[in-house]
Amino acid sequence: MNGESADDVALVTGLYRTTNAAVRELDLRLTREQGITFVQAVTLLAIDSFDRPQPHLVADHLSRQSQTVTGVLDRLERAGHITRQRDLGDRRAVRLALTDSGRALVQTVSASLARQVGEVLRGVKARTRANLRADLDEVEGSIKASR
């Protein structure tokens, strides 16, 4: 492996490590405060941001595999936060909807998540955050273009 390739592997490994550390920390905080995981929280927020989405749309939005999202949806449904409903226009399709408890949880989780992320990123300068968002968009674009 040449120097640039090794640096690129280290870059992707660093992204993976840092992302996992952030998600683990947010999992701990959200589980303690709200009783749900980070992935469950962002799944609820994704469902809320669409009008009765199909599960594959939520998976695509979160860049997760459908089977991974299905497990999260199962847990959210068992907890009474979402329902799965047949699409009347296409009986093979399923649509997701928030229940009353799901809508209430979205409100509290949204505020809690914003606060928790702010605390986790408190030591990162605003300029660094803005640059990182732009850089991650560039990386994501490169990933999509390589398909």
Kindly report, residue by residue over 53-74, the tens digit of the pLDDT.
999 999 999 999 988 999 999 9
Region 19-48 average pLDDT: 95
Sorted by where each begins, the domain ranges of the chain are 3-145
Above 80 in pLDDT, residue 2? no
* Alpha helix (H) residue ranges in 1-147: 3-34, 38-49, 55-62, 66-78, 100-120, 126-145
What average pLDDT is seen over the chain?
Answer: 94
Percent of the chain with pLDDT over 90: 86
**What is residue 49's predicted lDDT score, i.e. its pLDDT?**
96
Above 80 in pLDDT, residue 3? no
**What is residue 88's predicted lDDT score, i.e. its pLDDT?**
80
Backbone angles phi, psi at 13, to 5 degrees: -60, -40
pLDDT in tens, 83-121: 999 988 787 889 999 999 999 999 999 999 999 999 999
Region 32-43 average pLDDT: 95
**CB proximity list for 97: less than 8 A, separation 6 or greater:** 47, 52, 82, 83, 85
Above 80 in pLDDT, residue 33? yes
- CA-to-CA distance for 53 and 123, rounded, in angstroms? 36
**CB proximity list for 56: less than 8 A, separation 6 or greater:** 66
Dihedral of CA atoms 35, 67, 44, 104 in degrees, nearest 10, equals -60
- Please report, for residues 65, 68, 133, the alpha-carbon distance to residue 60 in angstroms, rounded to integers and kept in the order given: 8, 11, 19
**What is residue 92's predicted lDDT score, i.e. its pLDDT?**
82
Region 8-17 average pLDDT: 94
- CA-to-CA distance for 146 and 42, rounded, in angstroms? 26
In this prediction, residue 41 has a pLDDT band, given cuts at 50, 70 and 90, of very high
**CB proximity list for 72: less than 8 A, separation 6 or greater:** 39, 40, 43
**CB proximity list for 10: less than 8 A, separation 6 or greater:** none
**Which residue do the tokens 């927020």 mark?**
45
CATH hierarchy code of domain 3-145: 1.10.10.10
Above 80 in pLDDT, residue 8? yes
